[in-house]
Structure 1
Amino acid sequence: MREQRVNTWVELQEALFADSWNEKLGRHRPSFVFRGMPHVEHDLSTALNRKGMFVRQERDLLRAFRKYAPGVPQPRMESLWDWLALAQHHGLPTRLLDWTFSPYVALHFLTEDTDLANQDGVVWCVDYRVTNRLLPRPLKTQLQREGADVFTAEMLTQVAGDLSTFDRLAKHPFVLFFEPPSLDARIINQFALFSVMNGPALRLDEFLEDQEKGVRRLIVPASLKWEVRDKLDQANVTERVLFPGLDGLSRWLRRYYSPRPR
């Protein structure tokens, strides 16, 4: 894993879009996903395994969610992976982590919390083509069959219809990325996808530490955060767009008009 500290907006752009040229396509089409975090010391534990809180309750949480959720209007759920995506989307502790194909969406989440503006932030950049090399054969075969690099819920269901089967696909840890169904405009506008590992207690940052290629941590110093935030606002990468509706509008207005701390 490579760590890089960027000190200017230009350095940040170059680092985010590094290795994006695809010679085969003759286009800038990166195979990276991004996750922005407001504090450099925040790890990649999931809500399920953060401090070991809910690891043993994974099945109980998901079972109860599926039991009570039908009383709430929602898209049609056809598989376990659909249900996991829905649960993660609405804040249930799961083994999933939120990622995005958009480096600017990652920067939004790095700079959204103005209470942490005086802390260095971090953007994780992961090349899914590199992490795919450690996938067990059934999952690699599924990707090859579909001509894809990331999964959908439907593709995952064809290989593992439940978490127990998924966890038994390999004895070594691995991570894959999958695109959730278009549950709402928030998923779509955030260009979102999820990571998932083959065990509820596994930590993605611990897994990525051992990867020599395809993983970068970009450290964004606190001194650069306000410039990044202001330029994202000018580019219309805001809560109003990423969280459509009155809640997102209110979040944007509250942050946009709040005074900059001295």
Structure 2
Amino acid sequence: MKTLVAQSWEHLQEVLFDGSWNPAIARYRSPYVFRGLPDSRFDLKTSLARLGGNYAQLERHLLRNFQKYGHDSFDTNRSIWHWLTLAQHHGLPTRLLDWTYSPMVAMHFATADIGLSNEDAVIWKVNYHDSFKQLPVDMARQLERTGGNVFTVELLTQLVGELEVFDQLGQSDFFLFFEPPSLDGRIINQHALFSVASNAELALQDLIDQTQTDSQQVIIPASLKWEIRDKLDQSNITERVLFPGLEGLSQWLKRHYSPRNGVSE
């Protein structure tokens, strides 16, 4: 995987938006999705994997109990893909990873934790058009028929109803991207989508390398973080917008009025 280091705010824009031009339609339509992390030592590990221990075997128990005890809040007739989306959205450890179509949103998540302002950040950039090539043949054909490049919950539900079946679809390991339903303003404003691998124990970073999917690691040096953070705030890329409601508002205000290096506003 190619690694690039941002030299400035301007260079970061150039790197993240590079490859956006589509000559077939003469428009700037990027084939990349992004994931920002506040520490470059963080890898593409799912919340499920971060549980440690026998986490792959715990997956079905987590989901079963989420469905069991969450039935008063959600429609129990929904597919496993809808339940996975709900679970991820509400903080349950799952095999999903959050991504965004927006480079600016990825920059937000790379710089929002000012407690890590002295650490280099990273933005993962993956070509979701290119990831098409490593899908099982039948899934790739079905996706191609829709004219899209990522799956929807509805299409996944039509193709496979259980995770155990999903894990056995390919002759080799694979991953895919899918768009969640617009459950609330958070998903909408974050321009969000998820990745999912064909085995709870698979590391997406390894799969990307194995399948030679077009991708980059963009390192944001700690020395650039405050400039990027302040310019994102001026651009209204903040918790108040990305997490609509009082919690997001409070997070934004707390960070906005926190001093830098002991200097109060």
- The alpha carbon displacement at 1:179 in A equals 0.3
Asked if the contact 2:5–2:221 (Cα under 8 Å) also holds between the matched residues in 1, the reply is yes
Task: Provide the residue aligned with 2:191 in structure 1.
Answer: 191
User: 2:129 is paired with a residue of what secondary structure?
Assistant: helix
User: 2:71 is paired with a residue of what secondary structure?
Assistant: helix
TM-score by length of 1: 0.96
Task: Provide the residue aligned with 1:59 in structure 2.
Answer: 60
1:99 counterpart letter in structure 2:
W
- The alpha carbon displacement at 1:87 in A equals 0.2
Asked if the contact 1:132–1:175 (Cα under 8 Å) also holds between the matched residues in 2, the reply is no
**Is 1:220 the counterpart of 2:202 in the alignment?**
no
**Counterpart Cα distance in 2 of 1:19 and 1:80:** 34
Deviations, residues 152-201 of structure 1 (Å, cap 9, x unaligned): 00111111111011111113121100000111110100000000000010
Task: Provide the residue aligned with 1:245 in structure 2.
Answer: 245
**Is 1:90 the counterpart of 2:90 in the alignment?**
yes
Aligned residues: 261
- The alpha carbon displacement at 1:212 in A equals 4.2
- The alpha carbon displacement at 1:141 in A equals 1.1
- The alpha carbon displacement at 1:48 in A equals 1.0
Asked if the contact 1:77–1:83 (Cα under 8 Å) also holds between the matched residues in 2, the reply is no
2:55 counterpart letter in structure 1:
F
**Is 1:254 the counterpart of 2:260 in the alignment?**
no
Matches within 5 A, 1:191-210: 191-210=191-210
**Counterpart Cα distance in 2 of 1:118 and 1:94:** 29
Q: Which moved more, 1:145-154 or 1:208-217?
A: 208-217
User: 1:209 is paired with a residue of what secondary structure?
Assistant: helix
Asked if the contact 1:100–1:106 (Cα under 8 Å) also holds between the matched residues in 2, the reply is yes
Task: Provide the residue aligned with 2:4 in structure 1.
Answer: 4
**Counterpart Cα distance in 2 of 1:33 and 1:140:** 19
1:138 counterpart letter in structure 2:
D
**Is 1:150 the counterpart of 2:153 in the alignment?**
no
- The alpha carbon displacement at 1:144 in A equals 1.1
2:219 counterpart letter in structure 1:
I
Q: Which moved more, 1:222-231 or 1:139-148?
A: 139-148
Q: Which structure 1 segments of 5+ residues have no match?
A: none
1:25 counterpart letter in structure 2:
I
**Counterpart Cα distance in 2 of 1:179 and 1:191:** 9
Asked if the contact 2:119–2:222 (Cα under 8 Å) also holds between the matched residues in 1, the reply is yes
Relative to structure 1, is the Cα distance of residues 12 and 76 closer, same or farther in structure 2, using a 3 angstrom cutoff? farther
Task: Provide the residue aligned with 1:20 in structure 2.
Answer: 20
Asked if the contact 1:36–1:110 (Cα under 8 Å) also holds between the matched residues in 2, the reply is yes
TM-score by length of 2: 0.95
2:148 counterpart letter in structure 1:
A
Asked if the contact 2:134–2:211 (Cα under 8 Å) also holds between the matched residues in 1, the reply is no
User: 1:258 is paired with a residue of what secondary structure?
Assistant: coil
**Counterpart Cα distance in 1 of 2:242 and 2:110:** 14
Task: Provide the residue aligned with 1:169 in structure 2.
Answer: 169
- The alpha carbon displacement at 1:126 in A equals 0.2
Give the RMSD, CA atoms, in angstroms.
1.3
Task: Provide the residue aligned with 1:134 in structure 2.
Answer: 134
User: 1:3 is paired with a residue of what secondary structure?
Assistant: strand
Task: Provide the residue aligned with 2:120 in structure 1.
Answer: 120
Q: Which structure 2 segments of 5+ residues have no match?
A: none
**Counterpart Cα distance in 1 of 2:54 and 2:259:** 36
Asked if the contact 2:67–2:76 (Cα under 8 Å) also holds between the matched residues in 1, the reply is no
Aligned-pair identity in percent equals: 53
- The alpha carbon displacement at 1:58 in A equals 0.7
Deviations, residues 21-79 of structure 1 (Å, cap 9, x unaligned): 0111110001110000000010111111223452111111101101111223x478621
**Counterpart Cα distance in 2 of 1:56 and 1:49:** 11
**Counterpart Cα distance in 1 of 2:76 and 2:20:** 36
Task: Provide the residue aligned with 2:110 in structure 1.
Answer: 110
Q: Which moved more, 1:136-145 or 1:83-92?
A: 136-145
